[in-house]
Amino acid sequence: MKVSSIAEAREMLVGLGCDPGGVEIMAPKAVLRVVRCRDVVLQDAVMVKQDMLSVGGEVAIPRYTYERMSETADILVFGTVAQLSELVVKLRRHYPRIRALAEELSMVVAGFR
């Protein structure tokens, strides 16, 4: 079964007769998204990966990341809308360059809601 949006997830949950409060908690967990972040400093990519793993998601980084920490590359961040939202909160606690990435990701996640 594919759930394409939070609205679709809400509809399915309501159709099952779930508690309205539970619907709002569960709906963002039902929708998986993949976000491509471009030109991320690889040192930052490692921090993003660690934070995303801590909330149950994943980040794909280049194989050579640890050898070229000062270079930039694209990364893929994937997880549920709920996990992506948690990631934004965690990233906002870091240094300015990662906080800027958090704000960009926040705008993307807002579009999923």
Mean pLDDT by 10 residues, the chain (113 residues): 92 96 94 96 98 97 96 97 97 97 96 85
Q: 24 and 64 in one domain?
A: no
DSSP 89: H
> Can you tell me whether residue 3 is helix, strand or coil?
coil
Q: Do residues 22 and 49 both lie within one domain?
A: no
Q: Are residues 60 and 7 in the same domain?
A: no
Its domain, for residue 17, covers 1-30
pTM: 0.91
Host H or E run for residue 59: strand 58-60
Q: What is the pLDDT of residue 2?
A: 85
Looking at the structure, tell me whether residues 64 and 84 fall in a common domain: yes
Q: What is the longest distance spanned by two Cα atoms in the chain?
A: 52
Number of structural domains the chain divides into: 2
User: What is the separation, in whole angstroms, between the first and last Cα of the chain?
Assistant: 20
